[in-house]
Amino acid sequence: MANQWRGVIREYYDRLNWSDSDPVVTLGEGGTPLIDAPALATLLDVGEVYLKFEGMNPTGSFKDRGMTTAVSRALGRGAKAVVAASTGNTSAAAAAYATKAGMQSVVLVPSGKIAYGKLSQAIAHKAQILQVKGNFDDCLRIARELDEKYPVFLVNSVNPDRLQGQKTASFEIVDVLGKQPDLHAMPLGNAGNISAYHLGYTEEIKEGRISKFPKLWGVQAEGAAPFIKGAPVQKPETIATAIRIGNPASWDLAQQAKKETEGNFAFASDKELLWMHRFLSQECGVFVEPSSAAGAAGLLKHKKLGDLPKVDTVVITVTGHGLKDPDWALKDEKGRKIRPKRVNANAASVASSLGLEKS
């Protein structure tokens, strides 16, 4: 196993303050690729764009980075069960890591509003899954109360152990680029991830590995954009169910991230998200779930408005894999279902459907 990536705790042992007696629950998360996307650089009219493809984590989203640390710490403190509120990805990660640790997981999801792939993951990893008649914000309120009053351990990103694991994505970016990007964009929901990247870059500066912050941009869905409105949104609505959040828990940390890095909050409509979702798969070869297209969609919006800062190196975190929520790829830009043509089982029939002439 000497040459295998060892997961973020073992790879960044010292920087996570781990000691030999602390348990490590890992599925080999982290070490995700930074993929160059020249088509997107052309579209945005910037020097270079890299996609940090977090869909390559074991459960298909960035949540695994924080779940390895949160579940490991929970195990170290003697927890028997973990609880998480989730729009889907956290539930998948909590279920998988709890299983690896030999613990029970309890996940609360908004009824009818989580993508099929994510639901199947939570069920596959034998989570006790409850669909709450409410939205994500209701689920989180209940999960926090359960953590306070019952013998279950909260593993949402309000648990600081989560951000510790998630900050390693900043380390990896600096490790690979050998510098900080000028601008770094990502989707913004409950605001854990932007806070974790900010923490990671802050530590990189303290260690002297970089000298300044990238501008951190958090991009919300238009119908679920409390950071744009400047106040919680009571009834968040968007097709990007992962970021359908009206009352982000890490509000202050995200504000601080924006301020200290001279970053920005932006938003994109569902139509813009789906357009970018298609662009990333069709022009960049990277298949993500619709919410994960938010970072790039927000930058494109500002490029069109003419106020995208003049920057050279851009990193965009694409947070979750397209297979999580594949239905969107099966629709065209007008929302019509795409059905591959049926042909007879012979070469002539296939060639004629393809419009091929004999050579």
CA distances from residue 345 to 161, 351, 356 in whole angstroms, order as listed: 55, 11, 16
Closer residue to ligand F0G in complex, CB, 189/298: 189
Helix ranges restricted to H, the chain:
8-11, 38-44, 63-76, 89-101, 116-124, 136-149, 160-166, 168-177, 192-206, 226-229, 251-260, 270-283, 294-305, 347-354
**Shortest spacing between CB 279 and ligand F0G, in angstroms:** 17
Instruction: Yes or no: say if 320 and 55 are a contact pair by the CB < 8 Å rule.
Output: yes
Closer residue to ligand F0G in complex, CB, 68/190: 190
Strand partners, 109: 131
Closer residue to ligand F0G in complex, CB, 10/281: 281
Candidates 84-92, 120-128, 308-316, 328-336; binding stretch for ligand F0G (CB under 6 A): 84-92
User: Considering the rule CB under 6 A, would residue 242 count as an interface residue with ligand F0G?
Assistant: yes
* Tally of residues, the chain: 359
Euclidean distance between the first and the last CA atom of the chain, given in angstroms as a whole number: 50
Closer residue to ligand F0G in complex, CB, 63/215: 63
User: Considering the rule CB under 6 A, would residue 319 count as an interface residue with ligand F0G?
Assistant: yes
Choosing from 188, 221, 257, 266, the residue that interacts with ligand F0G (CB under 6 A) is 188
User: Considering the rule CB under 6 A, would residue 320 count as an interface residue with ligand F0G?
Assistant: yes
Whole-angstrom distance, CA of residue 100 vs CA of residue 107: 16
User: Considering the rule CB under 6 A, would residue 157 count as an interface residue with ligand F0G?
Assistant: yes
User: Considering the rule CB under 6 A, would residue 90 count as an interface residue with ligand F0G?
Assistant: yes
**Shortest spacing between CB 206 and ligand F0G, in angstroms:** 23
Candidates 29-37, 68-76, 191-199, 340-348; binding stretch for ligand F0G (CB under 6 A): 191-199
Whole-angstrom distance, CA of residue 57 vs CA of residue 193: 15
What six digits make up the tokens of 209? 């590995």
Q: What is the DSSP secondary structure assignment for residue 323, as one 8-state letter? A: G
Candidates 87-95, 171-179, 231-239, 268-276; binding stretch for ligand F0G (CB under 6 A): 87-95
Q: Which residues bind ligand F0G (CB under 6 A)?
A: 61, 63, 86-90, 157, 187-193, 242-243, 289, 291-292, 319-320
